[in-house]
Amino acid sequence: MVLSLFLAFGILSVAAGCGTPKFQQGRVIAGTTPIRGSWPWQVLMLTNGRPGCGGTLIAPNWVLTAAHCVHQTSAQQHVLRAGEHNVNIREGSEEDIPAAALFTHHLYNPRTMDNDIALIKLSRSFKASDHVSTACLPSSEAPAGTSCYITGWGKIAHPGQMTHLLQQGRMNTVDRRTCHNLNIRNIPFPITNAMVCAGDGGRSRMSGCHGDSGGPFVCNRGGRWEVHGAVSHGSSDCRSDKTYTVFANVHYFKSWIESTMRR
Q: Cite the active site residues.
A: 68, 116, 213
At 261 the three-state DSSP class reads helix
Distance of CA 222 to the CA centre of its chain: 20
Helical spans, DSSP H, in the chain = 2-8, 176-183, 254-261
By DSSP bridging, strand 50-59 and strand 62-65 are antiparallel
Report which of 239, 68, 58, 31 is spatially closest to residue 152, judged by C-alpha positions.
Answer: 31
Phi, psi of 233 (to 5 degrees): -160, 170
Helical spans, DSSP H, in 77-204 = 176-183
Positive or negative: CA dihedral 63, 69, 71, 75 = negative
User: Can you list the pairs that 174-181 forms with residues at least 24 positions away whose Cβ atoms lie under 8 Å?
Assistant: 174/144, 174/145, 174/198, 174/199, 174/201, 174/244, 175/144, 178/144, 178/244, 179/244, 179/246
Report which of 17, 58, 27, 24 is spatially closest to residue 41, judged by C-alpha positions.
Answer: 58
- C-alpha 241/C-alpha 243 separation (Å) is 6
